[in-house]
């Protein structure tokens, strides 16, 4: 069961990603291995200005938007990663989710909570019906993450990406709104509150993970 939050817990929040956040992201993406796992459009690192131009359409859109990008910050506004939804199709009710966590903050449950909160936004605010994501077959931590969130294996893109002289498989996984309904509460109840992620700075927000 969820434990009562105290001042020793780590609180993070999602905020809309801005061009000022791209400078941090460009620094993280200097690691080519990380870049290969998260950014399919890039083979080598870019500087912040070039990365900002690449993402310009995602960062500045008119409504209805086809993407929502969020920076994952602590209460001092230090950024530790980013998450969001892309390629949103409102007619069919689907979109693609992604997550990236800074290296020194991995294996702490931050990715799980931030991604769960983004799924809440997708299904309960944007009224989407299904969410898709793609996981490199050799990325075992990401495969474990999406499995805990309830994603179902739906197919394999054989030799779908190229890195370090070799082709690798890409697994496609999907999650329906009904499946998230069934996964959400049991998953939240299994988590402690040592790490919590809210939408906005209000830690007591209804939009938070684990659930209040």
pLDDT at 114: 98
Q: What does the alpha-carbon distance between residue 51 and residue 167 come to, in Å, rounded to a whole number?
A: 25
Decide if 58 contacts 88 (C-beta within 8 A).
Answer: no
Contact 97, 85 (CB under 8 A): yes
H or E element: which one contains 200?
none
87: left (phi over 0), alpha (psi -120 to 50) or beta: left
Give the 3-state secondary structure of 119-171. Answer: HHHHHHCCCCCEEEEEEECCCHHHHHHHHHCCCEEEEEEEEEEEECCEEEEEE
DSSP code at position 196:
E
Q: Which pLDDT band holds residue 153 (cuts at 50, 70, 90)?
A: very high
Residue 36 has pLDDT above 90, yes or no: no
Inter-CA distances, 10 with 65, 72, 109, 212, Å: 31, 12, 11, 15
Residue 40: what pLDDT?
A: 67
pLDDT in tens, 103-125: 999 999 999 999 999 999 999 99
Q: What local confidence, expressed as pLDDT, does residue 7 receive?
A: 45
Residue 9: band (very low, low, confident or very high) from pLDDT cuts 50, 70, 90? confident
Provide DSSP, 76-115: T--EEEEEEEEEEETTTTEEEEEEEE-GGGTTSSHHHHHH
Which of 3-17, 24-38, 110-124, 139-153 bottoms out in mean pLDDT, i.e. has the lowest?
A: 3-17
**How far is it, in rounded angstroms, from Cα 32 to Cα 162?**
12
CA distance 72 to 203: 14
- State yes or no: pLDDT of 70 exceeds 50: yes
């Amino acid at each position: 069961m969820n434990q009562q939050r105290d001042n020793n817990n780590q609180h993070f929040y999602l905020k809309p990603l801005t061009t000022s956040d791209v400078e941090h992201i460009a620094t993280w993406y200097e690691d080519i291995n990380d870049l290969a796992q998260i950014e399919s459009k890039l083979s080598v690192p870019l500087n912040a200005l070039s990365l900002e131009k690449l993402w310009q359409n995602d960062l500045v859109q008119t409504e209805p938007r086809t993407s929502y990008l969020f920076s994952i910050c602590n209460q001092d506004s230090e950024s530790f990663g980013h998450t969001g939804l892309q390629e949103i199709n409102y007619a069919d009710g689907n979109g693609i989710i992604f997550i990236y966590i800074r290296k020194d903050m991995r294996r702490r449950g931050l990715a799980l909570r931030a991604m769960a909160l983004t799924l809440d936004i997708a299904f309960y605010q944007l009224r989407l019906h299904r969410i898709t994501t793609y996981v490199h077959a050799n990325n075992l931590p990401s495969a474990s993450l999406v499995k805990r969130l309830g994603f179902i294996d739906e197919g394999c893109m054989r030799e779908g990406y190229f890195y370090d002289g070799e082709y690798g498989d890409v697994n496609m996984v999907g999650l329906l709104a009904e499946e998230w309904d069934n996964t959400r509460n049991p998953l939240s109840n299994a988590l402690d509150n040592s790490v919590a992620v809210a939408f906005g700075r209000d830690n007591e927000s209804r939009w938070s993970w684990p659930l209040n």
